[in-house]
Structure 1
Amino acid sequence: MIGKIRISMALGLVVAGSSILVPLQILSMKTGWWPETIILKIWHRMIVRALGMRIHVRGALSDSRPLLVASNHISWTDIMVLGSMVDVKFIARADMEGWPLIGMLSKLQRTVFIERERKRSSGDQASEIASRMAKGDAMVLFAEGSTGDGNMVLPFKSTLFGAASMAISEGAAEQVFIQPLAIVYTRLHGVPLGRRHRPIAAWIGDEDLMPHLKVLMAQGGLDVEVHFGDPVAFSKGSNRKETARLMESQVRDMMRAALADPRPSQ
């Protein structure tokens, strides 16, 4: 019964809020009357509140530009969590563009969609990401190329760091800063999530969105930690594979630290 009440209240908040915020965001994108990220932050914070999430932050988004943020990926909620806190743009799988609600939101925040299986288009996509970074956008790259179950970090794909190399080779920047970021779901209703229950927050593979969304809304009370590491400079002589391994190692260390000693719920 309580779960059904939570779902009804969360859906009511999202529907009512979106009916106001989506037109405002479209107006902002067309006219430039106010920064686009203002409405997006409000929208993301509304979703986070509807889901009953509590966010704990360690570190901060780097002020250095151009900036590529290399993060692990657990669920679509990662985007809501980050978007509620900082001004960033996202790099996402091409198929997300057609998803209900998520696809619409992605377009409204100018997400770059990449087709990882089509090598012909990868150059153009990397060029667009490089251009966006050169213009000052902090771009978030989910470097695993997939979602994990929240218990471990999957190997980072070095090919996804091609945009950093292209930004330099095209003369858009002399160097690109790459910052590691760990997203960790740690508690449910104040109780630490163990290995068995941590996948409650995860959205993996071909799992349908709506059943997963209903579970999150019915449960509520999730704690998520966001850990920002120190950025490293990527320049003309930098090795893409070594950089990917370094980012993966740092994100894994931050995740392990959060799981071993999760912040208390507040």
Structure 2
Amino acid sequence: MHRRAPGRRDRPLYEALQPGRRSHKGGLGLVIRHSPLRALGRLLAYVLYTLPLMPVQALGVLFKLPFTVSLPLAYHRRCAGILGFRIRTHGTLSAARPTLFVCNHVTYLDIVTLGATLPASFVAKSEVAGWPFFGQLAKLQRSVFVDRRPRSTAGQRDAMQMRLESGDNLILFPEGTSSDGTRVLPFKSALFSVAEREVNGEPLVVQPVSVAYSAIDGLPTGRAHMPRIAWYGEMGMAGHIWNALGLGRLSVDIVLHPPTSFAEFANRREMARICHETVAGGVERALAGRLAAG
């Protein structure tokens, strides 16, 4: 059986994902290069930095030591430097504890970029716990693993509620999956059920957050280059990671929108819709270069 050759519409995505490519020219004639040597250097530096810290964090989690909250934040900030990320933060971080951060989801790189910015643990689908290496890292960061099936909504809410009541901030991806990086998928209102409840007698603070991968070596990503960063659909992970590691300096805009709470909305469906519009607007402005320098 012959595989259909990529047509004109498919060509930017097809070419961007070919592992042998050294460079890719976009519609404006701008060239973004991939360096295997850079990819190898970053991979080695990341692994050598990560492995010694894993048993330290494991002991901290086991004995409930205070640094298990601060170490992941410092770790991800260092990883962002190793991987060549330039993170620009816009807005003010919520001072409330706990806070539920609701963010759009583009790629596995979100774990580093958001982890370097937000002092919080991630809410992840249960399958992530079984992933080699990355599953262990997620456990060490004290991620909350939830079953995303509709019938498990109550279990998701209760798992998040328990962590929030202990004073921990959480990062939630209410799209339920990753997007292509140029748009934000609709937010699932069921995932906002935890916001309907008070936490320790107070309304839960919810802060919408936009993450946008806006440039590579100063060149706009756009639709042509975004597949080099965004991980979605049926893309394989190993090859995509290798290609992403070999790119130049990646500019990431993180927009911290004003915090809100369930009391400001008629129901969780409206809350999900307004938070989605807020996050999507931040992504749109970031990709269009309409954000003030952070």
TM-score, normalisation: structure 2: 0.82
Contact 2:285/2:291 (<8 A) preserved: no
| Equivalent-residue separation in structure 1 for 2:156 and 2:260 (angstroms) | 23
Change (3 A) 1:207 1:238: same
| Equivalent-residue separation in structure 1 for 2:58 and 2:286 (angstroms) | 37
Contact 2:153/2:191 (<8 A) preserved: no
Contact 2:265/2:271 (<8 A) preserved: no
Structure 1 residue 162: deviation in Å?
1.3
Structure 1 residue 149: deviation in Å?
0.7
Contact 1:185/1:222 (<8 A) preserved: yes
Equivalent of residue 16 in structure 1, options 25, 30, 48: 48
Per the alignment, residue 289 of structure 2 pairs with 261
Structure 1 residue 144: deviation in Å?
0.7
Per the alignment, residue 247 of structure 1 pairs with 275
Asked if 1:37 corresponds to 2:65, the answer is no
1:132-191 per-position Cα deviation (integer Å, ceiling 9, x unaligned): 1122211111011111111111111100111122x33xx743311111100000001111
Does the residue aligned with 1:195 lie in a helix, a strand or coil? helix
Amino acid at match of 2:99: L
Structure 1 runs (4+) deviating above 6 angstroms are 263-266
Structure 1 residue 65: deviation in Å?
3.4
Structure 1: which 5+ runs fail to align? none
Per the alignment, residue 129 of structure 2 pairs with 97
Contact 1:57/1:227 (<8 A) preserved: yes
Identity of aligned residues (%): 33
Per the alignment, residue 183 of structure 2 pairs with 152
Change (3 A) 1:16 1:264: farther
Change (3 A) 1:260 1:9: same
Contact 1:66/1:175 (<8 A) preserved: no
Amino acid at match of 2:130: G
Structure 2: which 5+ runs fail to align? 1-21, 23-33
Contact 2:180/2:226 (<8 A) preserved: yes
| Equivalent-residue separation in structure 2 for 1:106 and 1:238 (angstroms) | 34
Larger Rg: 2
Contact 2:72/2:141 (<8 A) preserved: yes
